[in-house]
Amino acid sequence: MQRSSDLETSAGSTGKSDVLVTVQRIKGDLKIELKSTLKNLYSESQKLIIKDTVNKLKEDHLLISVEDNQALDFVLKARLKAAVSALQRTEESS
């Protein structure tokens, strides 16, 4: 996997019921790295949520790292949107 820049942004936290989402630009297609306290139970549904949210944001070339601490779906969506928005804004300004 080739990174297109060292720039990364994140949103959220590893506190209870929250999730820390970090995003980076990459040259290839979307890549998701999940680290969760309930990884086996929910990893597939979390990946679907991430893909769906990223599609709606019309993004693709991203490495998304997720450190989940039992966050509900709406929290994951919100943190992902915030991290991507911060990345877009930082790219625009640089």
Partner 1 sequence: MISWLYVPGNSPGMMLNAALYGADGLVLDLEDSVAAEKKEEARFLVSQAVMDYDFNSVALAVRINDMESLWWEEDLNLLIDSGVRLFRIPKMESISQIHTLEDILNHKEKEFRLQEGDLGYHMILETPRGVEESYNLSCEAKHAKALCFGAEDFCASMGSQRHQDLLRYPRSRIASSAAAVGIESYDSIWAAFKDQDGLTEDAKIARSLGFTGKSLIHPDQIDIVNRIFMPDKEEIEWARNVLKSLDQPENTGAFSLKGTMVDTPVIKRARRIISRLQENTQ
- Beta-sheet pairing, 31-36 with 62-68: parallel
Among 44, 60, 73, 91, binds partner 1 (CB under 8 A): 73
Q: Which stretch binds partner 1 (CB under 8 A): 31-39, 40-48, 60-68, 83-91?
A: 83-91
How far apart CA 41 and CA 29 sit, in angstroms, is: 25
Q: Residue 67 interacts with partner 1 (CB under 8 A)?
A: no
Among 63, 81, 93, 94, binds partner 1 (CB under 8 A): 81
State both tokens at 83. Answer: 């991290």
Q: Which stretch binds partner 1 (CB under 8 A): 22-30, 33-41, 60-68, 82-90?
A: 82-90
Q: Residue 62 interacts with partner 1 (CB under 8 A)?
A: no
- Is residue 23 within 8 Å of residue 84, measured between CB atoms? yes
How far apart CA 92 and CA 56 sit, in angstroms, is: 20
Which among 72, 44, 67, 16 has a CA at the least distance from the CA of 83? 67
Among 40, 74, 93, 94, binds partner 1 (CB under 8 A): 74
For the segment 2-61, give every residue that binds partner 1 (CB under 8 A): 11-12, 15-18
* Amino acid at site 44: E
